[in-house]
Structure 1
Amino acid sequence: MELDSDPHILLTNDDGIDAPGIRALHDALSAVGTVTVVAPDRNRSAVGRSLSYGRTRSSTDDDLSLDLAADSFTAAVPHTDHELGYAIDGTPCDCAIVGAKALEPTPDIVVSGCNSGANLGAYVFSRSGTVSAAMEAAFLGTPSIAVSMDTLGYDADLEPTDFERAGEIAAALVGGAAGTGLFDRVDYLNVNVPRPDCEPNGVAITRPTEVYEMDAAFENGGFELTNRLWQQMANRDIPDDEDTDRHALLEEAVSISPLRVPYDVVDTEPVRRILGDIL
């Protein structure tokens, strides 16, 4: 799918429409296209590809038995108007569907983010609301970009200015993709940007790491979970190969993973050349 030089951009996220990351991306993307925001009205992080609507009349009904009446598969999606667009009482995937299918004109591309916290590794795709919104759009035939920023160890309160580098990268990707054939090769991009206090160290075209380490224990009468991957990242001691997203981020480079739905990594060499020209 070829992007227009003045694209209509659907912007969503999972941190909620009032999060600083989506404001930063809105401002940056407005310089390269027309931006409409359709985002959750509150934080809906880590809900994955869940839907609030779309099975039967309402997922809140006690009786979820299948009713084959003509309107049984249609449900109202509550929203309120917002200065950036529309605040949806729903998940990131609800927002991606509403934005991709109900807006006029139809969006040329969906951007999801910028998330407060990195989304790294193949295991995260079905968990992260940020990446899931991009995946949902890709399944619907709309190219998309998920954008996240590492915040591990960054204790200051985040402001839109902290996401400036993420906004620049997102705008460069959207604005530079026209005429390149990038989204003929790629369904979506998973972008991870280093912390705002890190010095820029270039851009790496990566594959999502396949390493996944979670531990569980029963201690003192209760269950505990330990996320070994985040522990390793905090210690800067990771088991990932050099061509992976997590390795690139710890080298303080912007990681861009080109992907096809549902979870396929594409041949990165031709994509690397295209993105090299864009960035």
Structure 2
Amino acid sequence: MDPDSPPHVLLTNDDGIDAPGIRALYDALTEVASVTVIAPDRNQSAVGRSLSYGRTSSDTDDFALDLEADAFTSPVPHTEHELGYAVDGTPCDCAIVGVNAIEPEPDLLVSGCNSGANLGAYVFSRSGTVSAAMEAAFLETPSIAVSMDTLGMDGEEVPADFEHAGEVAAALVEGTPGTGLFDRVDYLNVNVPRPDVESDEFALTRPTEVYEMDAAMENGRFQLTNRLWQQMANRDIPDPEDTDRHALLEGQISISPIRVPYDVVQTEAVRNILDDIL
């Protein structure tokens, strides 16, 4: 990234291009960068790093890669949208298309803002928001995943609810060029508290390794229970103080600096750079 010119940001998400979170980030990021939006045309939450590659066909929904026709190539349909491109595909589809098929090449990918926090090491392969950032990082494009805690919020979400998340994302996009941050890390997983929580302070975190999904058979039916979110709702968590979930419950912005595939980078140099930015 050239520190003397506004960065070109590729903006995507997994909640869909019409979600209020991506609108809020678009409004905030266009103040500090040129922005190209390539996002799913509908909700693609929790699809992880899945791709449409090889699975798009007019004849069948099965794996349809025809080696004799278009070897190793699959279409990713899209339509024009007021924000950019609405893609009939996954967040990782959007990341790959945006990094490779759009000119000029983006300096940075931002994914979000997700409705709901993305906390814990287990989300890396599940969250579409984090997966888009990870996909870009594998393609050597630095990236930032941004999510906001919505636990306990009532009513329909609107872009104004994500205003603070947009401010945080814009500060990171504007502040990182020339710092060397993305020479040290590949992507940031950022989680912002609910809009009714004061959250000017950030914490350098690592994703919690606690994972407590439970299952049971009741009345002849399988049921899944997310103990992690149950603990979040009760504000009773077993996570150490340096973890993302702990920081969020303390009203802090959680920032986990990560190198692909899963290495967390918590050095003093990274902390100093983020201190200067935020």
Same fold (TM over 0.5): yes
Tell me the residue number matched to 2:19: 19
Tell me the residue number matched to 1:276: 275
Tell me the residue number matched to 2:263: 264
Superposition deviation, residue 156 in structure 1: 2.4
Alpha-carbon distance in 2 for matches of 1:200, 1:147: 15
Superposition deviation, residue 60 in structure 1: 7.0
Superposition deviation, residue 185 in structure 1: 0.4
Alpha-carbon distance in 1 for matches of 2:64, 2:232: 45
Letter in 1 for 2:107: D
User: Does the Cα contact within 8 Å between 2:56 and 2:64 map onto a contact in 1?
Assistant: no
Q: How does 1:170-185 map to 2 (within 5 A)?
A: 170-185=169-184
Tell me the residue number matched to 1:37: 37
Letter in 2 for 1:165: H
Alpha-carbon distance in 2 for matches of 1:125, 1:163: 22
Alpha-carbon distance in 2 for matches of 1:269, 1:87: 40
TM-score normalised to structure 1 length: 0.95
Tell me the residue number matched to 1:47: 47
Alpha-carbon distance in 2 for matches of 1:30, 1:87: 18
Aligned Cα RMSD in Å? 1.8
Cα 1:67/1:42, change in 2 over 3 Å: closer
Tell me the residue number matched to 1:117: 116
Tell me the residue number matched to 1:216: 215
User: Does the Cα contact within 8 Å between 1:97 and 1:137 map onto a contact in 2?
Assistant: yes
Alpha-carbon distance in 2 for matches of 1:167, 1:112: 11
Superposition deviation, residue 259 in structure 1: 0.2
Tell me the residue number matched to 1:166: 165
TM-score normalised to structure 2 length: 0.95
User: Does the Cα contact within 8 Å between 2:204 and 2:266 map onto a contact in 1?
Assistant: no
User: Does the Cα contact within 8 Å between 1:147 and 1:192 map onto a contact in 2?
Assistant: yes
Alpha-carbon distance in 2 for matches of 1:114, 1:249: 16
User: Does the Cα contact within 8 Å between 1:56 and 1:67 map onto a contact in 2?
Assistant: no
Q: How does 1:99-178 map to 2 (within 5 A)?
A: 99-178=98-177
Tell me the residue number matched to 1:72: 71
Alpha-carbon distance in 1 for matches of 2:64, 2:77: 23
Superposition deviation, residue 75 in structure 1: 1.8
Tell me the residue number matched to 2:238: 239
Alpha-carbon distance in 1 for matches of 2:181, 2:190: 15
Q: Which runs of 5+ in 2 are unaligned?
A: none
Q: Which runs of 5+ in 1 are unaligned?
A: none
Superposition deviation, residue 59 in structure 1: 9.8
Alpha-carbon distance in 2 for matches of 1:226, 1:2: 47
CA-to-aligned-CA distance 1:174-228 (integer Å, 9 cap, x gap): 1000110000001000000000111225111100000001111111111111111
- Which SS does the other structure have where 1:195 is aligned? coil
- Which SS does the other structure have where 2:119 is aligned? coil
- Which SS does the other structure have where 2:125 is aligned? coil
Tell me the residue number matched to 2:82: 83
Cα 1:266/1:58, change in 2 over 3 Å: farther
- Which SS does the other structure have where 1:131 is aligned? helix
